[in-house]
Amino acid sequence: QGPFGADHMGLIYVNPEGPNANPDPLAAARYIRQTFERMAMNDEETVALIAGGHTFGKAHGASLESHVGPEPEAAGIEEQGFGWTSGFGSGTANDTITSGIEGAWTSNPVQWDNNFLENLYGHEWELTTSPAGKSQYQPANPAAAATVIDAHDPSKTHAPMMLTTDLSLRADPAYDAISRRFLENPAELEDAFARAWFKLIHRDMGPRSRYLGPLVPGGLLLWQDPVPEVDHDLVGEDDVAALKAQVLASGLSVSDLVATAWASAASFRGTDKRGGANGGRIRLAPQRDWEVNDPARLASVLETLEGIQAEFNGAQSGGTRISLADLIVLAGCAGVEQAARDAGHDVRVPFAPGRTDATQEWTDAESFAVLEPTADGFRNYLQAGQAGRAEDLLVERASMLTLTAPEMTVLVGGLRALDANTGQSAHGVLTDRPGTLSNDFFVNLLDVNTEWQPSGDVFEGRDRASGDLKWTGTRVDLAFGSNSELRALAEVYGSDDGQDAFVRDFVAAWDKVMSLDRFDLA
């Protein structure tokens, strides 16, 4: 349970001087592992990225950082976006100041070789300071001073340098074993670095199907969250209608259908294009066990849907099939349509088949674990001990789902009306007809005859005249009456003539979330 951000302000990974500038390689290894695990990198990938990355280039710390001006946003207007203007010498070449560490790791830092590891294990290293006053290491053997040619003046030479975090590769037993193997087998390092580097710079691009160009590597990589290609004919309109009827006659409630489809699709993250309904991973570890997904209820719903899937697929004489991933979404759409009919609206929720079912073997459970929501305001869920205001976490979740403020608003109101809360909590279900796609959430939230009072971690809505308890709600629910922008949207959907717009906009936003990972439809 470490922090999500870097442990040192201004640095992407870890402080190269060690934790809090303490030059302790073994202590630094802990932070390295934590940071790279956050990127789903194992120990071998971590060593490959550090050793391979430090084969190239040098660090710059020609003098004290007091010579460097403020960053672009804080610099004078005349800087015109440059920032970090250095007053030391020329400010460039050998006078460059960036990290404050000074020097190169290898003898030829413009060429791929194994010299980083050769130097790491070929010298004993002693602590020193850079011209900028930063802690770094130099070889104990003075003869090493003649091994690195100056980057800008070939008549000069230097000793190689190492960071505290470089020496972590020797100090940490697991990293050390991998580093020594790479030292003895340079071809293994080359392959491991190529794979880890590709992963590092592509892991926020989503599935392999989004890659363009002639350099896309062949084969499937587990970190790409692969899903099978469609190998069957897709269901047509008649099939969809028959499946909807079967789902609605299965005994599953509108709440069951909607909550399961939402749980499947709402794991999507627009930041790195991971998660979503395609692959049907809601039925696999770890997603099937997430608290937010109501594991017991989910298992029961999936068992029923799997039975419908097996019956449908078994009855086909041709090549038509439906994946469970598709059926989960289709069932949710059927639930929304039924809820709209119950509210007096005949709507058709869009559905595009083509999702396939991934396997557990094609799922990196450890990597997927970081997708688990610790807060999902759409389901009025907040994990115990979660820091931060629930309404802020709702906005963060909406951002992950690439939703606008109106889309977020209409989805919260609709999901409350459809009784889709985690644990089927009554908080925010401001309606006497749960399971019906009504705008009751907004109508009752904005009712001036209701007085809201805090009660522990929730709020009670009581009749102003009698004091009788009418509703309960969370900070997420009350934000739509408190925040001026959200209240304006709530008033649109909660008005006497807002029901049609509410249903129409809910269906559109629902379809958007269900299709966020359908890159094949773009």
Going from the N-terminus, what domains does the chain have, and what CATH number goes with each?
19-61+98-201 (1.10.420.10), 237-370 (1.10.520.10), 371-521 (1.10.420.10)
Per-residue pLDDT for the chain (522 aa), expressed as one digit of tens each?
455 555 565 556 799 999 999 999 999 999 999 999 989 999 999 999 999 999 999 999 999 999 999 999 999 999 999 999 999 999 999 999 999 999 999 999 999 999 999 999 999 999 999 999 999 999 999 999 999 999 999 999 999 999 999 999 999 999 999 999 999 999 999 999 999 999 999 999 999 999 999 999 988 899 999 999 999 999 999 999 999 999 999 999 999 999 999 999 999 999 999 999 999 999 999 999 999 999 999 999 999 999 999 999 999 999 999 999 999 999 999 999 999 999 999 999 999 999 999 999 999 999 999 999 999 999 999 999 998 999 999 999 999 999 999 999 999 999 999 999 999 999 999 999 999 999 999 999 999 999 999 998 899 999 999 999 999 999 999 999 999 999 999 999 999 999 999 999 999 999 999 999 999 996
The dihedral through the CA atoms of 156, 159, 164, 168 has a sign that is positive
SS3 label, residue 461: strand
Map 205-247 to HEC letters: CCCHHHCCCCCCCCCCCHHHCCCCCCCCECCCHHHHHHHHHHH
Cα–Cα distances (Å) from 180 to 39, 44, 425, 479, in that order, read 24, 11, 55, 56
Region at 403 (left for phi over 0; alpha for psi -120 to 50; beta for the rest): beta
> pTM of the prediction?
0.92
In this predicted model, what pLDDT tens digit does every residue of 291-301 receive, in sequence order? 999 999 999 99
Other CB atoms within 10 Å distance of the CB of residue 450: 18
Cα–Cα distances (Å) from 475 to 16, 259, 427, 463, in that order, read 41, 21, 10, 19
CA-nearest of 142, 276, 253 to 206 is 276
CA 281 centroid distance within chain = 16
At 70, the amino acid letter reads: P
Angle at 423 between CA 422 and CA 429, to 5 degrees: 70
The dihedral through the CA atoms of 275, 280, 284, 288 has a sign that is positive
